[in-house]
Amino acid sequence: MKQYVVDAFTDRVFRGNPAAVCLPESWPPDELMADIAMENRFSETAFAVREPEGWRLRWFTPGGEIDLCGHATLATAYVILRFVEPDADVVRFRTMSGVLTVTRRRGSGDGVNDHAGDVFTMDFPAFDLKPTPVTDAMELALGARPIEAWLGRDLLCVMPDEQTVRNLDPDQELLKDLPGLLANVTAVGDADSGFDCVSRSFAPKLNVPEDPVCGSGHCHILPYWSKRLGKPALTAYQASARGGVIHATVSNGRVSLGGSAALFSTGTILPD
């Protein structure tokens, strides 16, 4: 089984969010896909199979299958449009979250890599957010008290400023007791940062202490800031140790997430 490792939401390796992309000719057993994800230890391993109806995409964390993942979708589109369908600029995936479309805008290359500068834009559903009370448990788990809290698939905690988000050192065990699948923490970007918002995403329930750049988390974060700031087009920064930039547009219940990708490695998985 061919496997690619791609750093998403960045134009250079060792930044952004790494994802493994596997392209089996037919679906492996679920147990094998879960074992591969556990072996890889990335926040997500993507599996894409070309079926008669088109590409189907599934995502596995070290803790099991998940219903939506942004960076691994970007990484999979990068692999397919570079290595499998190089003449195409659009790929559609059937997923647990419906049909997801990724469009490539070709870059000019850098003389070595013809794909340098390519930008991939993903059309994702926005999660419906409902306000939820700020609790002492949130403050204890995160190490700082949110000024607002919202709940979709994930918990979204709004902090008073960017530095609070950057300085967080949450208690991973206490995070597991909070509502929501992931805990996304966000604040408006500093005036001189060039970013509308700065965020971090924690996923100990999926055996991922911190997701370096979380696309599905931004399907909570960006709709919140779009409404709060009154602007549809946003630039977001994920303030993990690796860091990553997301360019986005929010409209009609959808989030358009854009970013680059960099190939780290290719290889072959040899399961028993």
Q: Are 12 and 87 in contact (CB under 8 A)?
A: no
d(CA 77, CA 97): 16
Domains (ranges, CATH) in the chain? 2-122+257-268 (3.10.310.10), 130-252 (3.10.310.10)
The confidence score (pLDDT) of residue 142 equals: 98
Q: Count Cα atoms within 13 angstroms, Cβ side, for 230.
A: 0
Neighbouring residues of 52: CB distance < 8 A, sequence distance ≥ 6: none
According to DSSP H, which parts of 41-103 are helical? 70-79
The confidence score (pLDDT) of residue 73 equals: 97
d(CA 54, CA 68): 18
Q: By C-alpha distance, which of 131, 11, 153, 132 is closest to 74?
A: 11
Average pLDDT by stretches of 10, the chain with 272 residues = 96 95 97 97 97 97 96 98 97 97 85 73 97 98 98 98 98 98 98 96 97 97 98 97 95 96 96 70
Q: Are 71 and 17 in contact (CB under 8 A)?
A: yes
Angle CA 169–223–212, to nearest 5: 35
The confidence score (pLDDT) of residue 107 equals: 82
In a 3-state reduction of DSSP, which class is residue 12? coil
d(CA 156, CA 52): 38
Q: What is the total residue count of the chain? A: 272
Kindly report whether the global pTM for this prediction surpasses the value 0.75: yes
Beta bridge partners of 147: none
The confidence score (pLDDT) of residue 121 equals: 97
The confidence score (pLDDT) of residue 109 equals: 60
For the annotated catalytic residues, the residue numbers are: 44
The confidence score (pLDDT) of residue 112 equals: 55
d(CA 102, CA 21): 15
**Structure token pair of residue 248:** 């986005």
In a 3-state reduction of DSSP, which class is residue 50? strand
